[in-house]
Each structure stands twice: as C-alpha cells, then as structure tokens.
Structure 1
Amino acid sequence: STKGPGGEHMFQLSTMRFATVSEFRGRVMVGIREYYDAGGELKPGKKGISLTLEQWTSLKEQMDEIDEAVKELS
C-alpha cells in the first residue's frame, strides 16, 4: 500500500481506482473510489463507496458466495 494525500492507506486496483483504508470522524472506513489527477496530485472523485468496519466484515464473510455468483455469470 501507499499513503494517500489524506494519510489513508491506498491499494491500487486499476489506473485510477483504489481501495482505501482511512479514518473518518473517529471511525475506520474501507473505500473503493475513482481518483483523478489534479495537477499531479491524486484527488478522490465522486464515484465510490465507503464501508464501515461492520459492512466490510459482512462483505468479507460473504466473499465465497460472491465469488461463486461471479463464476456462474462469467
């Protein structure tokens, strides 16, 4: 991971899409967001989602089922 402009941990998924782990109002959040180049600096765009730790845990617990659904449709 790398550190983002706001101190968040950033994990690159594609050219301008990142998974992030950050803190917002005292809560840890996991996000997936598109970023844009603002004069050489990465800035978060409007397209994305932020999950609470509870939502992130729920998503991880369902990952095997999600993978199976993806395989069915691929």
Structure 2
Amino acid sequence: MPKTKPSKKKSESSDSDSGPEDRGPAKKQKVATGEENLWNIGKNRMVKLSEFKGKWYVNIREYYDAGGELRPGKKGIMLTMEQWQAFKGIIGEVEDAIKKNV
C-alpha cells in the first residue's frame, strides 16, 4: 500500500505567516539599515520600490522582527510597473466602492 504524506493544516486564526513576532508585548523595532525607497503603512507592512534584474517593482510586504530589526517576510505582493499603473488607475473606483459598502 502506498504511503501518503501527512497533511499540514494552516491556522486560520492568524493573519501572519511569519512566526513568533505576533506574540508578547510590542518592542521598538527598526527597519534593516540601508533601506531606501521604503514607506511604512502600519502594522509591520511596508511599501518598497526595488530593482531586480534590471526591472523596477513596487513591493508591498509584511515585515517580521529578526532580533529587533524588521526584515521582509513571505507575505506580500510584488507588482511590475505595468501592474502598479493599472492599480493606480482603479484607485478611484475602489474608493467609490468603499464609500458605498463601508
């Protein structure tokens, strides 16, 4: 009979997949030194403009505590410049939908 892998069940109660930084009292944290083009949007979430293989991206990502220093985590999205422009183009529609629904 073939062996099957045990399934890993993700916790549905957490909005973070980056580990123990959500536990315990909040500590004063700093973003890794040398970070340029980085904007804090709250709750350890940052927007960063970065270049990779000659192309520019807008990276919206959740950061985690690594010994008192914030580091980028797995949870987030990296947008190409085309995707960023499309996103900016629908901001008005999103705002209108928020006003109608919230």
Matched residue, 2:18:
none
Distance 1:58 1:4 in 2: 30
Aligned pair 1:69/2:97, yes or no? Answer: yes
Under a length normalisation based on structure 1, what TM-score does the superposition of the two structures give? Answer: 0.84
Shift of 1:40: 2.3
Structure 2, unpaired ranges of 5+:
1-30
Aligned counterpart in structure 2 of residue 44 of structure 1, from 46, 50, 72: 72
Task: Let me know the Cα RMSD of the aligned residues.
Answer: 1.8
Q: Extract unaligned runs of 5+ from structure 1.
A: none
If each structure's helix is expressed as a fraction of its own residues, which one has the higher value? Answer: 1
**Larger strand percent:** 1
Structure 1 CA distance for aligned equivalents of residues 50 and 36 of structure 2: 5
Alpha-carbon deviations, 1:23-72, whole Å to 9, x = none?
Answer: 11111100111001111222111110010000000010111111111111
User: Which of 25, 29, 32 pairs up with 2:60?
Assistant: 32
| 1:22 paired residue number | 50
Q: Which amino acid aligns with 1:49?
A: I
In structure 2, C-alpha distance between the alignment counterparts of 1:22 and 1:4, rounded to whole Å:
15
AA matched with 2:100: E
What is the CA–CA distance in structure 2 between the aligned matches of 1:41 and 1:4, rounded to whole Å? 6
Report the TM-score when normalising by structure 2. Answer: 0.63
SS in 2 for 1:39: coil
Q: Distance in 1 between matches of 2:71 and 2:100?
A: 36
